[in-house]
Amino acid sequence: MISRSQVQHVAHLARLALTPAEEERFTEQLGSILAYVEQLSQLDTTGIDPVMSERSLTESLRPDQSRPWPSREDLLGNAPDRAGDFFKVPKILQTD
């Protein structure tokens, strides 16, 4: 079972501000989830191969093939904003 102080600790690590009502609700919900996982861990899985993916391992995807665009203008014509022969995007990094 998970305690309310553990929920508060995880909320602090995640930088979440929880109200006392949310702390109580999450304590109950997480406790239920952990109890269910404990139930699952008690299942006998001997003889059952682990599943790595829902897709068959024999399934294959088409090979990647590079193809040139008909023209640079066709490609850049799709850009919402451009500067010469380049896509213009908003600045995301700050330099001091």
Q: pLDDT band at 58, cuts 50/70/90?
A: low
Residues near 8 by beta carbon (within 8 Å), at least 6 away in sequence: 18, 23
List the single range of 10-19, 35-44, 60-69, 85-94 with lowest mean pLDDT.
60-69
Q: What is the pLDDT of residue 91?
A: 84
What's the pLDDT score for residue 56?
Answer: 60
| Domains along the sequence of the chain with CATH | 4-41 (1.10.20.60)
* pTM for the whole structure: 0.48
